[in-house]
Structure 1
Amino acid sequence: MASETAGRFERESVKHDPMSWMLAPRQVFDGATAIDACLSRDACLRGILVHGLGLGLDVERAAIDALMAEDDDDFDEREAEYLYGDRPRGIGNPARGRASRATRLRLYTATICDTRDNTMFQAFHASVARSAVEVRKRLSRSLGAELAEVAEIRLGLHEASPLVIALVPAAVIEVIRQMQRDCASPGAKTFEVNIHQSIQA
């Protein structure tokens, strides 16, 4: 959160000390300071959204939660199916139509926010695959099985996601958009974007 705060204040020429912001009580964290609150994943995501969208120095928590809920509600039925990969989700087999759609190459994105040992690890991944299972295997190879397990994998690019706002530069967003429009291109199978950062509390 410290890097997000300092980066935003520098980017927007905010005449406010980033550390003072981190140490002052904030409505968005229910009156707690950012340093204390951001040990929680959800609170940290709220802070990232505040700075990523430039929503002033403080906002009501309810407003940020509403934005996060809108992003969560953006799933469609197929995304929900792919999100959990090969993990069991109930009795029965997927419909034939869904199975056939899963064989096509599509753009998938994944975000990870994991906190352990007072360090928050954040990551963004984008690649072209036939299913979320394939993407999760890639993440397992590059980041390890534990982080791959907590990855949120989604069809397409979701630019309103707090971690996408925080981690992915505009120029990279445009490259990903281009690939999303042309997953049949020769370079699609090797296309991959990985952005990581670690924040120590």
Structure 2
Amino acid sequence: MQPAPAKVSFKEQMLQAREHAILRSACDLLGEKSFDAMTMDDVAGKVGIAKASLYKHFGSKEELCSAAMVEVLSAAQTYLTSLEPSLPAVDKLRAVVRWSLQRLLAQEMPLLPSRNSTLRSVLMANKCYADGVIQVSDIIGEWITEAQAEGVIDPDLPPIGVLYTLYARACDPVVSFLKDSALYQDEEIVDLVLRTCFDGLRAR
């Protein structure tokens, strides 16, 4: 008989709930204004706690945002594994891009740090983040090579180039331009970007 799991104290539950709220708020702010523009005051204000309380959970903005990026990667991994294995590879790729575009429109997709951002080096040194990127890239990369073998994606394109092209949709400025135009509903924007991504601009 398995021993009963240890009970989590009420205090620990409250700390976990607050940490989750902090990470959620950090993700939202990273989607709204990027790492370099975001401050710890912004995060504390959004959560509704004192900045001193925020620092009890995360010692720096870099540490907090690294944890938030790991959360996003974890959500992406969960989504990837939820897709029906029998789906054609290109349909899985479309589904992943659709998911990332929907997150971007909901401002739940953190904007990638600029090349000279201090967060970039911190992320590269974070094993959980680095391992997550590799795992996600391996899954999507396998679908890309399958789609190329089936002739659905140009086999002359280097798979890594296709991979980065799909990743770029998660921070595509076209999405915000179309949103700001007020000409299209969110799902129309998603469909339009998916169409240009996978079908190109040439008339058929």
| The structure with more helix, counted as a fraction of residues | 2
Instruction: Report if TM-score (shorter chain) is over 0.5.
Output: no
Q: Whose radius of gyration is greater, 1 or 2? A: 2
* Higher strand fraction (1 or 2): 1
**TM-score normalised to structure 2 length:** 0.29
